[in-house]
Structure 1
Amino acid sequence: MQIVFLDRDTLAPSVRLGRPACAHTWIEYPTTTPAQVVERLQGASVAIVNKVRLGAAELAALPALRLIVLAATGSDNVDLAACRERGIRVCNVQGYAGPSVPEHALALMLALARNLKGWQLSLAAGRWQESGRFCFFDHGIMDLAGRQLGIIGRGTIGRDLGRRAEALGLTVRYATSLRGGEPTPDRLPLGELLQSSDILSLHCPLTEQTRHLIGAAELAAMKPGALLINVGRGGLVDEQALLAALRSGHLGGAGFDVASQEPPPADHPLMQALALPNFILTPHVAWASAGAMQRLADQVIENIDAFTAGTPLRQLV
């Protein structure tokens, strides 16, 4: 069995990546461009990918491919319908990112609510010395306790974030399913969730239904001064509309760990927003604690072993 990992550099060098129990040949590449995919996977039975795209055209040119192991939870880079047609199994990794992603989301909330970036910019500009006092009041501070956190996505990460937020005194409400669902005391329709939440955090997958789920109209519906957190997928938010909402002052702040294009070019709306005191961007690292990356790597090997044993784990197709 030939196993090819197309983008090993999506995991830190310190992560221990074991080897499957079956007889195999292991090949790994630091990165792979779209033009290199078919050549590098020729003859491979198993492909391991994180961000490399495997579309219908690539899959059609790879008759030996039997298994795709996603070194991630999201599957928007793989054509699942084409895999199903060709009998190619697809497995992902699940549950590895807790507590890393919920803690990152909370860190962004706390930093924005306490206006830490604004204070640091003011200090760097000499405002403390200029004030002549023991403190100054250039930036507002929001207590999280007593506020409402709205969460879109009630999977493992969304629920883990909710539990941590409740421990800080936040009231947590979730969006009802986007495919429909009856409201409950803790689950609200999206429109109601937008209007009532002081903080909105996104934890749903990127699909055609959720692309630009938060656009200009949704941002306008949010409370003045509300905070928006996105550690899910960049395409969930219309980033140009986000920039406008931040510049206008309607949105109190935003903390993002993802972008619609990664890495974003210099003229990308999120890069333009970096100059604002109420915007924080991190480079898609919410998932990347040492523990989370090791759990991910372990599941990749588990998935291959389970497939070869005839008992696939975490199977999407």
Structure 2
Amino acid sequence: MAEHGHRQSFRILVLNEISPRGLERLPADRYLAGKDVGQPDAVLVRSADMHDMEIAPSVRAIGRAGAGTNNIPVAAMSARGVPVFNAPGANANAVKELVLAGMLMAARKLPGAMRFVAGELGEVRGELDKAVEKGKGAFAGFELAGHTLGIVGLGKVGCLVADAAIKLGMNVLGYDPDITVDAAWSLPSQVRRAGSVSEVLRSGHFVSLHVPLLDATRHLVSAANIGLMPQGAVLLNFSRQGVVSDEAALAALDSGALGAYVCDFPSAQLLRHERVICLPHLGACTREAEENCAVMVAEQLRDFLENGNVANAVNFPAVSMARESAYRVGIANANVPNMLGQISTAMAHAGLNIHNMVNKSRGDMAYTLVDVDSRVSEALLAELARIDGVLSVRYLPA
């Protein structure tokens, strides 16, 4: 990062193709963004695996143009005081529409019907109408209206799926032990609340999963509980590979307990089964979703780099403070006692008057923004960095 007077310029390493609409949010007079940028202040990424990548010490933030961050070493970045931003909800409508498509494909047996048309019918010579009438009976399906959809995970996608399903005449049962206030407000009142994953599995003719892949959610649906689903039920996984045990899903399909498994994550095992509907990770693959994700994460990166504000970081608390001074310091530190006291004492010893301050914590991480009334010296920044528990210090002159 370089200073020109009071204005800073920033270098952004872009690891994947990012929508131009997002990159436009990083003005060229202050930002250099590209795939070959050295000593970057931040990284913009979509699907590139960063776990084995050497992440430069200059990196102060990582922005994921999407929701999941399992391709980013979040814990290692937290230890360095580096926030990892994502774009929750930006691709929610795209995923919602694909979930609806998945339900319809399974209910109306469309993949098999399409294979029939492309295969057997393609070999018919003459009297095609008779062949159609004779063959179509194998693909008689059922309508969505009146059936129950169980949803595990009531974030932005889960709420949109619930709303769409209700409008299609379905009954909806939802479960999310960690539902946010915003999600609760946006959830349609007709959604019945379940008390557990097991209750959703027992009740749903369709069950759709919308949870991140964590240790607690790995094989959330497994051999231990998949048998709870009603005979012929449809399981949909558009969240993450690993949330469902492939082995358990295949065994349930083979036994006839499960009617169909629809997922966005192909594996060699799944591709061999005729009642598995696998899509090639299309959840966020729409022009609109890619643009929305890129715009959202670029704006979050910019606000952090220029002002230190944090929104939608998976490892930092949300912190926003309007500027009341041209001189600002951002400090990430371990969430332990007396950090604020040590920070303010160091500033007082440096002769700085604190104009405004905000401090928030999230788990083991705390983050502080401080506006002071005069220029901050390199010596003070070095002293703050030496405080035991401080992970990163940034000077943010306006």
Tell me whether the two structures share a fold, i.e. TM-score over 0.5: yes
Normalised TM-score (structure 1) = 0.82
Quick one: distance in 1 between partners of 2:230 and 2:37?
50
Quick one: distance in 1 between partners of 2:16 and 2:135?
49
Tell me the residue number matched to 1:177.
177
Quick one: distance in 2 between partners of 1:16 and 1:65?
19
* Residue 292, structure 1, aligned to residue 289, structure 2: yes
Tell me the residue number matched to 1:254.
261
Tell me the residue number matched to 1:32.
none
Distance change in 2, residues 1:136/1:63 (3 Å) = closer
Q: 4+ residue stretches of structure 1 with deviation over 6 A?
A: none
Distance change in 2, residues 1:88/1:148 (3 Å) = same
Tell me the residue number matched to 2:11.
2
Aligned pairs for 1:156-167 (under 5 A) are: 156-167=156-167
Q: CA RMSD in A?
A: 2.6
2:57 to 63, 73, 86: 63
CA deviation profile, 1:151-183 (whole Å, cap 9, x unmatched): 01100100000000001111101124279xxxx
CA deviation profile, 1:101-157 (whole Å, cap 9, x unmatched): 111100110111011122223333249766584774213412211111000110010
Unaligned runs of 5+ in 2: 1-9, 180-190, 317-398
Aligned pairs for 1:133-282 (under 5 A) are: 133=133, 136-177=136-177, 185-259=192-266, 264=267, 268-273=268-273, 276=274, 278-282=275-279
Distance change in 2, residues 1:168/1:4 (3 Å) = same
Distance change in 2, residues 1:41/1:152 (3 Å) = farther
Q: Which secondary structure state, in structure 1, belongs to the residue aligned with residue 215 of structure 2?
A: coil
Tell me the residue number matched to 1:307.
304
1:18 to 9, 24, 44: 24
Q: Which secondary structure state, in structure 1, belongs to the residue aligned with residue 202 of structure 2?
A: helix
Q: In the TM superposition, what is the alpha-carbon distance from 1:41 to its structure 2 partner?
A: 7.5
Percent of residue pairs bearing the same amino acid type: 29
CA deviation profile, 1:193-218 (whole Å, cap 9, x unmatched): 11111000011100011111111222
Quick one: distance in 1 between partners of 2:311 and 2:216?
27
Q: In the TM superposition, what is the alpha-carbon distance from 1:50 to its structure 2 partner?
A: 1.8
Quick one: distance in 2 between partners of 1:272 and 1:42?
45
Tell me the residue number matched to 1:79.
73
Q: In the TM superposition, what is the alpha-carbon distance from 1:15 to its structure 2 partner?
A: 6.3
- 1:15 and 1:290 in contact (8 A); partners too: no
Distance change in 2, residues 1:178/1:216 (3 Å) = farther
- 1:41 and 1:62 in contact (8 A); partners too: no
Quick one: distance in 1 between partners of 2:146 and 2:288?
32
Q: Which secondary structure state, in structure 1, belongs to the residue aligned with residue 66 of structure 2?
A: coil
Quick one: distance in 1 between partners of 2:212 and 2:271?
23
Q: In the TM superposition, what is the alpha-carbon distance from 1:82 to its structure 2 partner?
A: 2.0
Tell me the residue number matched to 1:102.
96
* Residue 43, structure 1, aligned to residue 42, structure 2: no
Larger radius of gyration: 2
Letter in 2 for 1:17: L
* Residue 54, structure 1, aligned to residue 63, structure 2: no
Quick one: distance in 2 between partners of 1:16 and 1:45?
17
* Residue 125, structure 1, aligned to residue 128, structure 2: no
* RCO higher in structure (CA 8 A, sep ≥6): 1
- 1:47 and 1:67 in contact (8 A); partners too: yes
Q: In the TM superposition, what is the alpha-carbon distance from 1:95 to its structure 2 partner?
A: 1.5
- 2:11 and 2:37 in contact (8 A); partners too: no
- 1:150 and 1:201 in contact (8 A); partners too: yes
- 1:114 and 1:143 in contact (8 A); partners too: yes
Quick one: distance in 1 between partners of 2:81 and 2:151?
36
Quick one: distance in 2 between partners of 1:290 and 1:206?
25
Letter in 2 for 1:125: E
Question: Which sits farther off after the overlay, 157-166 or 221-230?
Answer: 221-230
Q: Which secondary structure state, in structure 1, belongs to the residue aligned with residue 225 of structure 2?
A: helix
Distance change in 2, residues 1:152/1:15 (3 Å) = same
Q: Which secondary structure state, in structure 2, belongs to the residue aligned with residue 188 of structure 1?
A: coil
